[in-house]
């Protein structure tokens, strides 16, 4: 029986395990999906060695970047983004192992936000500078948008939340929240933005999907902005993982 899984630390609630277990049951696929909670990315080598049926892994925090030196090959997106969330495992006749890295976050985000974009969406604010934001920025660039990071502390080339004035919001029509602000159980939190300056020409995309409507989305919608959460992105990146594990190298075409 083929095995797949998720590496990260810590691993509490796992969307991936539930998603793939339900997929395998629904489609009659003879496979299992397990969580491998490893505090050190280097422990992936033990996981792969101890599970010879393992064909692929998803990778989540804090290992998306730390895993890179341990891989034998990267997709174009993974190399340029500098982060991996999918690993394909190949074994030859002599049981030698080859680990290949991909980034399906960029695929999921791009395919999810693209139908919402119009010609007036030219500039984007990306809230947060973690691993997921790298994929978001890569996708925005490939979709033709200019983007700027927003960070809590001041760094060269970035804005801080104190810099975001009503005039700023007229320049940036797209806002993507890559921070955990508003994620359950902190549902009363939202990124500190001048929401009153937003309108129907703004698009607010939240990578958070629990709750279904975050306060960030709610405040934007009250001003007439288009809003969307990250659930579809999550589904799309998971489906792209499955394609990769089954031999379809997924260098995404924009």
The two structure tokens encoding residue 254: 């924009």
Ranges under pLDDT 50 in the chain: none
Distances (CA, A) of 106 to 81, 134, 199, 218: 9, 9, 27, 25
Nearest alpha carbon to residue 132 among 23, 45, 234:
234
- What is the rounded distance in angstroms from the CA atom of residue 236 to the CA atom of residue 108? 5
* pLDDT value of position 252: 53
The side-by-side arrangement of strands in the sheet containing 86-91 is 31-37, 2-8, 54-59, 86-91, 97-102, 73-74
* pLDDT value of position 185: 93
* pLDDT value of position 40: 97
> Is the separation of the CB atoms in 176 and 127 below 8 Å?
yes
* pLDDT value of position 228: 98
* pLDDT value of position 95: 81
* pLDDT value of position 212: 97
Active-site residue, 64 included: yes
* pLDDT value of position 54: 98
Hey, is 110 helix, strand or coil? Answer: helix
Choose, from 64, 114, 218, 228, the residue flagged as catalytic.
Answer: 64
| Phi-psi map region of 194: left, alpha, beta (phi>0 left; psi -120 to 50 alpha) | beta
Distances (CA, A) of 231 to 5, 177, 206, 209, 251: 20, 13, 9, 5, 22
> Is the separation of the CB atoms in 223 and 239 below 8 Å?
no
């Amino acid at each position: 029986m083929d095995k797949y899984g998720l590496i990260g630390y810590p691993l509490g609630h796992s969307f991936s395990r539930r998603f793939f277990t339900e997929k395998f049951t629904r489609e009659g696929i003879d496979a299992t999906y397990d969580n491998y909670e490893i505090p050190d990315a280097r422990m992936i080598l033990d996981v792969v060695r101890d599970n010879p049926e393992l064909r692929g892994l998803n990778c989540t925090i804090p290992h998306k970047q730390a895993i890179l030196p341990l891989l034998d090959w990267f997709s174009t997106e993974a190399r340029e983004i500098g982060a991996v969330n999918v690993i394909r495992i190949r074994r030859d006749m002599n049981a030698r192992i080859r680990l290949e890295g991909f980034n399906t976050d960029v695929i999921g985000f791009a395919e999810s936000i693209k139908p919402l974009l119009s010609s007036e969406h030219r500039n984007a604010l990306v809230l947060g500078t973690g691993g997921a934001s790298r994929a978001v920025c890569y996708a925005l660039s490939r979709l033709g948008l200019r983007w700027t990071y927003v960070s809590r502390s001041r760094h060269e080339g970035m804005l801080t939340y104190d810099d975001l004035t009503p005039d700023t919001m007229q320049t940036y029509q797209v806002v993507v929240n890559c921070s955990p602000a508003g994620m359950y159980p902190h549902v009363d939190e939202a990124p500190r933005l001048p929401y009153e300056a937003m309108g129907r020409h703004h698009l607010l995309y939240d990578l958070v999907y629990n709750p279904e409507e975050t306060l960030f989305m709610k405040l934007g919608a009250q001003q007439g902005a288009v809003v969307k959460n990250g659930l579809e992105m999550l589904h799309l990146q998971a489906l792209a993982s499955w394609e990769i594990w089954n031999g379809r190298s997924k260098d995404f075409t924009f």
